[in-house]
Structure 1
Amino acid sequence: MSNFGSLVGAFMENAMAPSAGNRIGSALEQLQRGGFGGMAGPAAAGVSAAPGGMLGGVFDVLKDSLGGAAQRPAQRPAQAGGVGAVLGSLLGGGKGAVQGGMMAVLASVAMKALSSAGEQQAASGQSGGLADLLGGLMPGGGAGGQSGPWSGGDVPLGMRAPQSTAEEEALESTAQLVLKAMINAAKSDGQISPEEMQGIVGKLHESGADDGMQQWVMQQMQAPLNVQAFAAEIPNQEVAAEVYTASLLAVEVDTEAEKRYLQELARASGLHPLVVGQIHQTLGVTA
């Protein structure tokens, strides 16, 4: 069976919300402006180092694909031959020089949201601050014995390559939850039609997903939506923030059902309202 990390980009390419390209552009711009583009370390999810770090490399490729390095990506609409055409290679679809990029973007958005929310809470004089917002993240340090509060030590996994079997498994588990999140969000305002399911699975087949992975995606799309059960699978606030970010990329948030679903997901996964607000701000989503 294909690994979940390699499927994230392919699924994003074929099942994302129409405005997701613009939201990713907004995120890349804000992350680069805030210095997160240079924090990715030597590699992310098996990607070779690029000037400015992993996100710096993703940002440069995205700008080139949109045909104008000087313009802000958030101001450029997703268009045929633009964002949609390069998502497979940019966002982990298994092609191009920036494989695994979507997991790096999600991890960076989560890190920015948690860090900024913690700073806001501390500045307002509220108790706890960042320590409370990151409660249960990695009490004993990062995966594999890494120091630091994130799953990868000083930075979250996804922003750098896993260094151990435990880290590989942790990143793969997060990718699986991200896929479930996008599918659940798509189901939030009603069932996905059989025609839509077949279309998505067909596109995944074209992207190289094997039969086992296609069957898994079909099962997830057919399963009843259960937010509480899904939230119970989320191990910590870092992953919860990544899952919420992926959910925002999967839907337009233009129906009451989608808004209610996102609110329920945030509550069930224990995301602090400040973190949720930071994620919305980074993606340029006002709803």
Structure 2
Amino acid sequence: MFDPKKLLDDLLGSQVPGTTGTVRDKAGQAVQMAKDNPLAAGALAAVLLGTGTGRQVTGTAIKLGGLAAIGGLAYKAYQNYKAGNAPEQAPAAGQPELLPPPADTAFHPSQAPQGEDEFTLTLVRAMISAAKADGHVDDAEREKIAGKLKLAGVGSDAEKFLLAELDSPLDLDTLVAGAKTDEQRLELYTASRLTIDPDTRAERGYLDLLAGRLGLPDALVDHVEATVSAAKVAVPAGTAPNPRW
């Protein structure tokens, strides 16, 4: 069995033990090697492994590890929302580093009523669902994705889990039910927004639908949008596959 927290770290681009690069770096190399037949924008590996078009998570959020980063971003968005602050339209200069959520709040992984591992798997499933939001991944694309996962070295069990989730139909009822508290519902949405940049109607529609099903106020969603955007940077030229159209 794989370690759900390590898988989440890998998918968000954390350092791979025993290497000098990240999963994202390896996946980026794979895209360069296969640039004659690139993944379509929005395909699972391109999005989850950080090589898709748009922006990618960076900085302190990566250093924290996946679970703490998602919790920290959700907590920060919630605090700004409760304080009545206006969502920032761009990262502020000298912005303080992202911190993990306080241990005495329900945003901290140790407070998960269903256990850290189970909730982590829910977050991973949320990321996969978001990655699939812009359309069907056909057999050819799935084969390419499997190859990228092997190159990334996530492990055979984790690879099987990811590919099985990729093949599963969207089930928002089960996904939403996996979040047991208001804080977890906000973290689930934050993980989904971290995975994709809503550049298509399908992606924007999916995030809007998810926010509605999770019962998140529009103003709180706006704060998540601002907080996640501030944690991302533009993908360097040459590391992203060509768009589908």
Tell me the residue number matched to 1:284: 229
Deviations 1:117-161 (A, max 9, x none): 22229xxxxxxxxxxxxxxxxxxxxxxxxxxxx894247325xxx
Q: Which amino acid aligns with 1:174?
A: F
Letter of the aligned partner of 1:156 in structure 2? F
Code of the aligned partner of 1:116: N
Deviation at residue 236 of structure 1 after TM alignment: 1.6
Distance 1:239 1:192 in 2: 28
1:152–1:167 Cα contact (<8 Å) kept: no
Alignment partners' CA distance in 2, 1:204 and 1:151 = 33
Tell whether 2:157 aligns with 1:212: yes
Number of residue pairs the alignment of both structures matches: 181
Provide the C-alpha distance between the structure 1 equivalents of 2:112 and 2:142, rounded to a whole number of angstroms.
32
Counterpart residue number, 1:156:
107
Q: Which residue of 2 aligns with 1:8?
A: 8
| 1:1-287 correspondence to structure 2 within 5 Å | 1-12=1-12, 13=24, 14=45, 15=48, 16=50, 17-21=52-56, 24-25=57-58, 58=60, 91=62, 98=63, 101-120=65-84, 152-154=103-105, 156-158=107-109, 162=110, 170-284=115-229
- Separation in 1 of the partners of 2:70 and 2:220? 14
User: Deviation string for 1:172-226 (max 9, x for gaps)?
Assistant: 2232112111111121121123233333333333333332221111111111112
**Residue deviations 1:71-130 (CA, integer Å, cap 9, x gap):** xxxxxxxxxxxxxxxxxxxx4xxxxxx4x5222221111101122222229xxxxxxxxx
Deviation at 1:169, TM superposition (A): 6.5
TM-score (norm 1): 0.55
TM-score by length of 2: 0.63
> Comparing both chains, which one has the higher relative contact order based on Cα–Cα distances under 8 Å and sequence gaps of 6 or more?
2
Contact conserved, 2:70 with 2:190, CA < 8 A, in 1? yes
- 5+ long unaligned stretches in structure 1: 29-57, 60-90, 92-97, 122-149
- In the superposition, relative to structure 1, how do residues 168 and 155 fare at CA in structure 2: closer, same or farther (>3 Å)? closer
Q: Which of the pair is proportionally richer in helix?
A: 1
Bigger mean CA offset, 252-261 vs 198-207? 198-207
State, as a whole percentage, how many aligned pairs show the same letter: 24
Shift in alpha-carbon separation, 1:152–1:198, aligned structure 2, 3 A:
farther
Gaps of 5+ in 2: 13-23, 25-44, 86-100, 231-245
Q: Whole-Å Cα distance in 2 between the matches of residues 182 and 107 of structure 1?
A: 14
Question: Quick one: structure 1 residues 283 and 254, their matched pair in 2 at CA, closer, same or farther if it must change by over 3 Å?
Answer: same
Q: How far apart are 1:167 and its partner, in Å?
A: 6.0
